Amino acid sequence: TSRRFRGKQSTMSADPELSVPLHVKYIQSLGESKDDLMYHLTAHLRMNAIYWGLTALCIMKHKDALDREEMIDFVMSCWDEEAGGFGAHPDHDAHLLPTLSAIQILCIQDATDRLDVDRITKFILSLQQPSGVFAGDKYGEIDTRFLYCAVHALALLRRLNELDVDKTVDYIRRCKNFDGGFGAVIGAESHAAQVFVCTAALAILDRLDVIDQDTLAWWLAERQLPNGGLNGRPEKLEDVCYSFWVLSALSILKKLSWIDSDKLIKFILSAQEPEHGGIADRPGDQPDVFHTLFGVAGLSLLGYPGLDDVDPVFCMPAKLIEAKGLKKDWQA
Ligand code: GRG
Ligand code: ZN
């Protein structure tokens, strides 16, 4: 429990290390409790969760800890034949979030031959609105998150040539705020996760010129709190997942050195669950696979020893992005 965890932390003397074997076990255990209520309550996140777990395993150099064939079968069982995209779970409607995760998983597993690229491309492009932003699905919620999912997926599918790039970039430009950051829609407050999706989408589209780079990097660096952790916007609490949202954006802007990496590494490591593995949003809380990925990805961006590099734009193994010819010249 969180109480016990807190107690353990306070008695720990030396700085903790990343418990790779424990986190690998934790990720493996997530698929094993299919009778749990939690398993059913999180069905709408299943496809995303598999991408989070698999990517965390790749960064920790344990890609094979989950069964490849079983994973590919699950992904394909979520194909929505009517819409031409993937749902989060068998019999769920297609949505851009699980569609991107499905494509990412099949890329990592070198199984993209299973994809109907023409139909998925059509599904993705059908969700672009006249303003340039994307809806997540046919029900029409819009968010710069979905714009990033569309741009990212089209890049992996090598179909960016079919996108109206100017219209897409224009929507991101209109989301830019006085502080250099970006929000979920035009006029929305800057938030570090939205800064990541907008910055990464612009990076894929080779349009980083849209960003006020020094202003944004300053706002991002301001996210570090005295305890070393990062928050997502002013006056909010620190949270391990911002180690990825903030650091990836700073990495794209080549300004990672603007935060204190030793203090952030200590913060991320202090949010590990010491008995059953996994990383929580902050010390003492219950771990989950989302924060486990973004904690490990943050450590990778900070050069923590023993980890494979994560690509800050795609949040996938850097060597895969490089092998696919998707790494940008300016990342060299
Ligand atoms: C391929 C890495 C990758 C991502 C796919 C889904 C997605 C695209 C990006 C998610 C971006 C996003 C908006 C994440 C949410 C992060 C988060 C912790 C939101 C919580 O916001 P609040 O307001 O929390 O509840 P704060 O920290 O502001 O109190
Ligand atoms: Zn979080």
- Ligand 1 interacting residues, C-beta cut-off 6 A: 97, 145, 148-149, 193-194, 197, 232-233, 236, 239, 241, 315
pLDDT of 141 strictly over 50: yes
pLDDT tens readout for residues 163-210: 999 999 999 999 999 999 999 999 999 999 999 999 999 999 999 999
Concatenated DSSP letters of 158-223: T-GGGS-HHHHHHHHHHTB-TTS-B-SSTTPPP-HHHHHHHHHHHHHTT-GGGS-HHHHHHHHHTT
Rounded to two decimals, the pTM is 0.94
Ligand closest to CA 193: 1
Q: How far is CA 127 from CA 120, 147, 261, in A?
A: 11, 9, 39
CA distance 314 to 311: 6
Q: How confident is the model at residue 237 (pLDDT cuts 50, 70, 90)?
A: very high
In this prediction the ipTM stands at 0.96
Q: How far is the CA of 27 from the centre of ligand 1 (A)?
A: 21
Residue 104 CA, closest ligand 1 atom number: 1
Show the tokens assigned to 197.
């999706």
Residue 148 CA, closest ligand 1 atom number: 8
Sole residue written with tokens 């344990």: 62
Q: How many CB atoms lie within 10 A of CB 13?
A: 5
Ligand 1 atom 29 nearest Cα: 236
Q: How far is the CA of 14 from the centre of ligand 1 (A)?
A: 32
Ligand 1 atom 18 nearest Cα: 241
Q: What is the largest CA-CA distance in the chain?
A: 57
Instruction: Mark the residues whose beta carbon lies below 5 A from ion ligand 2.
Output: 239, 241, 281
Q: Summarize the confidence of residues 18-29 as an average pLDDT.
A: 97
Q: What are phi and psi of 217, to 5 degrees?
A: -65, -35
**Contact assessment for residue 306 and residue 20, using Cβ atoms and an 8 Å cutoff:** yes
pLDDT tens readout for residues 10-22: 444 467 899 999 9
Q: How confident is the model at residue 332 (pLDDT cuts 50, 70, 90)?
A: low
